[in-house]
Structure 1
């Protein structure tokens, strides 16, 4: 007799709602790395990321019965976690340039734009410096723009799926990404790239240019 079939995400949600005490833990374990990477990049430091992730998981645990299957379970989980992180950022009025950590596990990202493993130590040092500059600049963005860029540019999610995660229109995600990229380009002194998040150059930029484009100065905009 072969091993039992792995339960789908939807099956695990349903089992959790039905009273299976192990189902939610299994679901979280399946998506933990990606959720942690998003929380870490959105919050800017491990301590706040841990709090944001915990808030999101508690909310998901309690609200699982409201999941109706209109979106993928992973989309729903990201929506809950990202919104929990954004709630913390808004409550704390975090608008400071706080460096993001260097110890992000790039292997957990779906489409990270900041990946490189050069063999030459000098190249490695340069790559690390560029990555630090990008992450430091990213941390200065308003929370909503940062979340959009993290999900679209660093995690590689389609714009439409990110719109579902954030509960906003597709055009709003594109606007936030465009403004965020314009600001990053200004901070980093790099040239602009096409503003449409679905543009091929936006989805797969060369590693020598670790940022796509960025947002202008001024008040946060949706």
Structure 2
């Protein structure tokens, strides 16, 4: 068993997926070990809720586990996994949109963020501002600006054209700029 674990460490993602599809019990565990942190960050930043993100990642892992035999190899395994995470996030976001809405405070309805000192700093303000974007814009920005994907890879994950990824990023950044403007003047 130890030799199987050592061998799994040297095997490419594509081969691990094939080994899993053939019934190797260690292959999928190794694949998830390699990619779980980025899958988690993608879900958390896309959904902005740890419980929803955990559920989305779990759903994505189950989907990937079941669909491994249908992997066509058109993209990298990591891209395929991230696409499954985005789909799970999308499903969760749609389900959450059906829930009863909670009324916003007057300040929130006007699009004003709380004082950075009260919000706990830039990271909380960025999360809060990201939450105000549409799911499509948020997903594109998280992939490109936070996880470092190329536009080409992000387009594969999202299942859209590269030009659409660029457009969503431009529009998302334009919406974020006024929400995060106070941090620009503080840093200067």
TM class, shorter-length: 0.7 to 0.9
Cα 1:185/1:97, change in 2 over 3 Å:
farther
Higher Rg of the two aligned structures: 2
In the TM superposition, residue 139 of structure 1 has moved relative to its aligned partner by 1.0
CA RMSD for the aligned pairs? 2.8
Verify the 8 A CA contact 1:38 1:150 in the aligned structure 2.
yes
Cα deviations by residue, 1:161-196 (Å, 9 ceiling, x for unpaired): 0000010011111111111100001222379xxxxx
Rounded to whole Å, the distance in 2 between the matches of 1:47 and 1:25 is: 22
Cα distance change of structure 1 residues 51 and 64 upon mapping to structure 2, 3 Å threshold: same
For 1:6-85, list aligned pairs within 5 A: 6-85=10-89
**Structure 1 177/155 Cα, relative in aligned 2: closer, same or farther at 3 Å?**
same
Structure holding more helix per residue:
2
* 2:146 paired with 1:154: yes
Cα 1:140–1:96 shift into 2, 3 Å: farther
Q: Which runs of 4+ in 1 moved over 6 A?
A: 94-98
**1:91/1:72 Cα in 2 relative to 1: closer, same or farther (>3 Å)?**
same
Change (3 A) 1:10 1:178: same
Cα distance in structure 2, aligned partners of 1:96 and 1:27 = 39
Paired residue total: 167
CA distance in 2, matches of 1:29, 1:81: 15
